[in-house]
C-alpha cells in the first residue's frame, strides 16, 4: 500500500482526499477484475465436465468473501480501522466463530458433497436415520423426497458425517430371500425347486451366480435362502415376484411354511 501511495505521489497526487478516492476506486476495479476472472475459470471448468451446481455455489462464496475484504480495505483507506475496532473484532471473532461453527461446517460439507459426489440428483440414499431420493444440494442443506412422497431437508454436515449408502449408483444388486420351511420337509428339495424357478428367468444375472443354502436352524423352521443378483432398476419387482412365486411353488410341491411351534408337557392337577 505504501509503495502505491508513493507511486501516486510520483504521479503528482498529493492531496489526501484525492489519494483516498483513487485508492478506493483501484480497490473496486481490482475486485471487479478478480470476480470476472473467477467467473471465467468456473465456466471453463464446467465445460471441462465439472458438476453444473458447483458454479453458483463457488461464485457466491468468492464474491461474498471479496466484498468483505473490499469493505475492510476501504475502511482502512479512510482511516477508520483504528485499534479500538480491531480489538472489538478480535474479541467478537471467537463468539462469531462459535455461533457460525455449524453453519460454516455445513458450507464446507456442501462443497465436498459437490466435488466428491457420493450421490447425484434422483439417487436414493440412506445416511443414518435419513432416507430419500436426492432433489438437490444447496450451500447449507440438501433436499430429498422420501419414498412416500414427503419433503425432507437435512443439513449438509449431517450427510457428510455418516456413511452414505447409495442404492442407485451400482448397476446390479443382490436379492436375498429367506423362507422358513418345516423341519419335516427336505431342504434339498426346497432348494431344487427354487433353482428351477431361477434358471428359467432371464432377469436373473448369470454373474455373480445364484446360490441356494440353509442359513439357520431356527426354533420352529429351517431357513432356506435364495440369493440372486438382479439389475438395480428392477430390484423391487423381482423381490415381489419371487416372494409370491416361491410361496406358490412350495404350496404346489407340498413344502409347508410352518406356524411357530411348541412342545407342551401336560401335567394335570
State the cell numbers at 202. Answer: 432371464
Q: Which residue number, 199 or 219, has a Cβ lying nearer to its own copies?
A: 219
Is the previous residue joined to 208 through a cis bond, with omega within 30 degrees of 0?
A: yes
User: What is the signed CA dihedral for 112, 115, 121, 127, rounded to 10 degrees?
Assistant: -30
Give least dist CB 29 to its own copies, A. Answer: 15
Nearest CB to its own copies, comparing residues 46 and 107? 107
Q: Does 2 bind its own copies (CB under 8 A)?
A: yes
Q: Which of 100, 209, 233, 253 binds its own copies (CB under 8 A)?
A: 100
User: Bridge partners of 135?
Assistant: none
For its own copies, the closer of residues 11 and 94 by Cβ is 94
261 — phi, psi (to 5°)?
A: -115, 150
195 makes contact with its own copies (CB under 8 A): no
Other Cβ atoms less than 10 A from the Cβ of 34: the count is: 15
DSSP 88: H
As a whole number of angstroms, the distance between CA 238 and CA 224 comes to 18
26 near its own copies (CB under 8 A): no
Q: Are the C-beta atoms of 152 and 129 separated by less than 8 Å?
A: no
Residue 128 C-beta: closest distance to its own copies, Å: 9
Write down the least CB distance from residue 78 to its own copies, Å. Answer: 8
Please identify which residue in 15, 43, 87, 234 interacts with its own copies, judged by CB under 8 A. Answer: 87
Q: What is the DSSP letter of 171?
A: S
252 binds its own copies (CB under 8 A): no
Decide: is 47 part of the binding site for its own copies (CB under 8 A): no
Q: Which is nearer to its own copies, 46 or 138 (CB)?
A: 138
Distance in Å, CB of 62 to its own copies, minimum: 15
Kindly determine how many residues on this chain lie close enough to bind its own copies according to the rule CB under 8 A.
106
Q: Binding mask 197-236 vs its own copies (x if CB under 8 A, - otherwise)?
A: ----------------xxxxx-xx-x------x--x----
User: Cα separation of 186 and 166, whole Å?
Assistant: 38
196 near its own copies, rule: CB under 8 A: no
Q: Does 269 bind its own copies (CB under 8 A)?
A: yes
Of 39, 60, 65, the closest CA to residue 138 belongs to 60
Dihedral angle sign, alpha carbons of residues 236, 242, 245, 247: negative
| Run of H or E residues at 229 | strand 222-231
Please list every residue from 106 through 165 that binds its own copies, using CB under 8 A: 107-109, 112, 116, 118, 129-130, 138, 140-141, 143, 145-155, 157-158, 160-165
Q: How far is 145 from 64, CA to CA, in rounded Å?
A: 31
Decide: is 93 part of the binding site for its own copies (CB under 8 A): yes
When asked if residue 60 is in the footprint of its own copies (CB under 8 A), the reply is no
70 binding its own copies? (CB under 8 A): no
Amino acid at each position: 500500500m505504501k509503495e502505491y501511495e508513493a507511486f501516486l505521489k510520483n504521479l503528482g497526487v498529493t492531496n489526501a482526499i484525492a489519494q483516498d478516492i483513487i485508492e478506493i476506486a483501484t480497490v473496486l476495479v481490482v475486485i471487479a477484475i478478480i470476480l470476472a476472472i473467477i467467473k471465467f475459470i468456473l465456466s471453463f471448468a464446467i465445460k471441462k465436465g465439472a458438476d453444473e451446481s458447483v458454479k453458483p455455489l463457488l461464485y457466491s462464496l468468492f464474491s461474498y468473501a471479496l466484498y468483505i475484504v473490499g469493505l475492510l480495505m476501504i475502511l482502512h483507506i479512510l482511516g477508520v480501522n483504528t485499534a479500538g475496532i480491531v480489538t472489538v473484532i478480535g474479541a467478537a471473532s471467537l463468539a462469531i466463530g462459535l455461533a457460525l461453527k455449524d453453519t460454516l461446517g455445513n458450507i464446507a460439507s456442501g462443497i465436498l458433497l459437490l466435488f466428491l459426489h457420493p450421490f447425484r440428483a434422483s439417487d436414493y440414499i440412506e445416511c443414518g436415520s435419513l432416507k430419500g431420493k436426492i432433489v438437490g444440494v444447496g450451500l447449507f442443506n440438501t433436499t430429498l423426497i422420501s419414498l412416500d412422497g414427503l419433503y425432507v431437508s437435512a443439513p449438509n454436515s449431517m450427510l457428510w458425517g455418516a456413511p452414505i449408502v447409495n442404492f442407485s449408483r451400482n448397476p446390479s444388486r443382490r436379492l436375498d430371500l429367506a423362507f422358513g420351511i418345516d423341519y419335516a420337509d427336505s431342504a434339498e428339495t426346497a432348494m431344487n425347486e427354487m433353482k428351477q424357478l431361477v434358471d428359467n428367468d432371464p432377469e436373473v444375472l448369470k454373474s455373480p451366480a445364484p446360490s441356494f443354502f440353509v442359513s439357520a436352524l431356527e426354533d420352529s423352521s429351517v431357513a432356506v435362502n435364495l440369493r440372486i443378483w438382479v439389475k438395480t432398476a428392477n430390484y423391487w419387482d423381482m423381490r415381489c415376484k419371487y416372494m409370491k412365486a416361491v410361496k406358490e411353488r412350495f404350496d404346489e410341491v407340498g413344502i409347508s411354511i410352518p406356524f411357530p411351534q411348541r412342545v407342551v408337557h401336560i401335567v394335570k392337577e
